[in-house]
Chains A and B, each alone.
Chain A
């Protein structure tokens, strides 16, 4: 797989078990006292969606462009490791529709859910 971009490295994201991705807790992810910044969680989810679509495509020349991203914040993000997994609802020729869930201690209790439309520009 290709190297993660600098923004993903800054967030500290790496591959976890069972196809999920992990953003280990780090003080620079804090927003308001004692909580993760919502933007860091959104950054993780956008990245995970991008990686899932990239992995599902057989042509490395396809350019991915996120066009709409909607994030629902379900619980506050604690100062803990955050996990995320993407589910591709539809992978078309021109658009990929993806949902992502992020959780911390319990995958059944997500802290955020995202929905993305990613435009696929095929060569």
Chain B
């Protein structure tokens, strides 16, 4: 097993900044890194006009939250493995519990709660300020696509 490059905070931050800058769709949505732990990651999606799905209320698209949570879940797999191992989403279910408040940043926190040789199982929530009142809940599965 290769070195766990994601255990050191400063190195983690450098790798994450480099990694996220290289993902064009994250840049297009404005998704950024917040923090991470041994098996979880939190990303943020700041409110922006181009994310709006309902112009009459200013509520952002659920699809943008899906992207946020897919990315946070993918990151939680990286943190659990301790390195950027290639993987692909096999499936992801998102339950939208309520609309995100217009104007608020949405935070997505996902946890990789189980990992096997080929699969990673994830769950998480999205919230717009209060994690006790999430806007969405996700559960999903990733396949590790590396050769190792």
Which residues on A are within 8 Å of B, measured CB to CB? 5-11, 27-33, 36-40, 42-44, 46-47, 65-73, 76
Contact = CB atoms under 8 A, between A and B. Distances in A.
Given A68-B96, A71-B91, A72-B91, A43 B66 contact: yes
Contacts of B28: 10, 28-29
Contacts of A40: 25, 67
Nearest to B29: A39
Interface of B: 22-29, 49-55, 60-64, 66-68, 70-71, 86, 88-96, 99
Contact of B63 (A29, A33, A42, A70): A42
A5 B61 contact: yes
Contacts of B64: 7, 39, 43
Contacts of B92: 38, 42, 70-71, 73
Nearest to A30: B24
A28 B27 CA distance: 8
A30 to B, nearest CB: 4
Given A6-B52, A7-B51, A69-B96, A42 B24 contact: no
Contacts of B90: 72-73
Given A37-B23, A38-B70, A39-B25, A67 B96 contact: yes
A29 B23 contact: no
Nearest to A63: B54
A79 to B, nearest CB: 11
